[in-house]
Amino acid sequence: MNQVPLTHILIVSAALFFIGTYGLFTRRNMITMLMSVELILNSVNINFVAFNRYLYPEALEGVFFSLFIIAIAAAEAAVAIAIIINLYRNFHSIDVEDADELKF
Amino acid sequence: MIASVVVFYILAAFILVTGLLAVTSGKIFRSAIWLLFCLTGVAGLYFWLGMEFIAAVQVVVYVGGIVVLIIFSIFLTQQTGKELPAPVRSRTLFSALAVCLGFVLTCLLLHDHTFPDTRVQGAADMGIATIGAQLLSTSEHGYVLPFEVISILLLAAMIGCIVIAIKTKPEDK
């Protein structure tokens, strides 16, 4: 593991973050936007774990931050999907461009 | 070249290629399957880093939970065989430009920064027992308060999902 410099792992996670950002910019379907958000959260997790492993190998803080991020991502995905299903019931579409009313 | 170095670069290429396919694929179900592969690759990266517990949590929560939830919601809301409408050309162009610029900027910053070189071999015990003991300890470095807060958050999210997604009768509207 130590033959790979920390910078290369950080470049991978930065690339994953920007792939997720690209998806968030270009997609207009809510489920695919949610997938992009999951990619972004994963790239952050990779950063936390890599920093913990390389810079502070005696601590466990990065592990806990990753665990909490995963738990919050699960809660966020569940709430987002509930909102998407409710939106589909009202607009019969999950395209963000179609959801242009605040109240109906 | 040592085997673990090769494994890292294979994992990195796998994660990036499947991630890119997940955000560019034209069919939404294929996109979800590419996302599944990408998240599995990230779990493999955690294994490679020696964090077995995080890798297991990643597989259980993301691959087993979130992707299955996403696929269920695709089935509930879409005709899965249909192509997604392609994004507007100018939007694709400018987002790609912005993303590339951001990535280059990040790489330049990473290139200029030097991290302190503390490569201690196997200093920490990353076993599940150690993680669990520190997670629930009430001492100075314990994480019992965030643990309790996040359990409340999960309960609130669960109830919130039920309230949002519940079907109201037509006469109530």
Domain annotation covers residue B107: no
Q: What's the CATH architecture for A6-91?
A: Orthogonal Bundle (1.10)
Alpha-carbon distances, residue A97 vs A24, A73, B29 (angstroms): 14, 25, 21
Domain annotation covers residue B57: yes
Helix extents (H) in B49-168: 52-57, 67-77, 89-112, 128-135, 144-165
CATH number at residue B32: 1.20.120.1200
Domain annotation covers residue B154: yes
Among residues B83, B112, B137, the one where a domain terminates is B83
Higher pLDDT pick, B123 / A81? A81
Residue-level pLDDT at B124: 59
Domain check: are B7 and B75 in the same one? Answer: yes
Domain check: are B60 and B132 in the same one? Answer: no
Domain annotation covers residue B120: no
Residue range of the domain that includes B156:
127-173
pLDDT level of residue A95 (50, 70, 90 thresholds)? confident
Cβ atoms of B69 and A82 closer than 8 Å: no
pLDDT level of residue B170 (50, 70, 90 thresholds)? low
Low-confidence winner among A53-62, A80-89, B11-20, B41-50 (lowest mean pLDDT): A53-62
Q: What's the structural domain count of chain B? A: 2
From B48, B69, B123, residue closest to A1, measured CB to CB: B48
Distance from CA of B171 to the nearest CA of A (A): 15
3-state secondary structure of A94: coil
pLDDT level of residue B153 (50, 70, 90 thresholds)? very high
* Cβ-based contacts of A36 with chain B (< 8 Å): 23
Mean pLDDT of A73-96: 88
DSSP assignment of B152-164 equals HHHHHHHHHHHHH
Low-confidence winner among A39-48, A54-63, A69-78, B2-11 (lowest mean pLDDT): A54-63
Among residues B58, B83, B108, the one where a domain terminates is B83
**Interatomic CA distance for residues A43 and B76, integer angstroms:** 29
pLDDT tens-place string over residues B59-97: 999 988 999 999 988 988 876 667 777 778 888 999 999
Cβ atoms of A32 and B23 closer than 8 Å: yes
Domain annotation covers residue B66: yes
Domain boundaries, chain A: 6-91
Domain annotation covers residue B116: no
Domain annotation covers residue B93: no
Higher pLDDT pick, B21 / A58? B21
CB contact under 8 A, B4 and A81: no
Does this model's pTM top 0.80? My answer is: yes
Domain annotation covers residue B114: no
Residue-level pLDDT at B151: 94
CB contact under 8 A, B118 and A2: no
Domain check: are B61 and B132 in the same one? Answer: no
Q: Averaging pLDDT over each range in B49-63, B66-80, B115-129, which range is the top one?
A: B49-63
| CA dihedral for B11, B13, B16, B20, sign (positive or negative) | negative
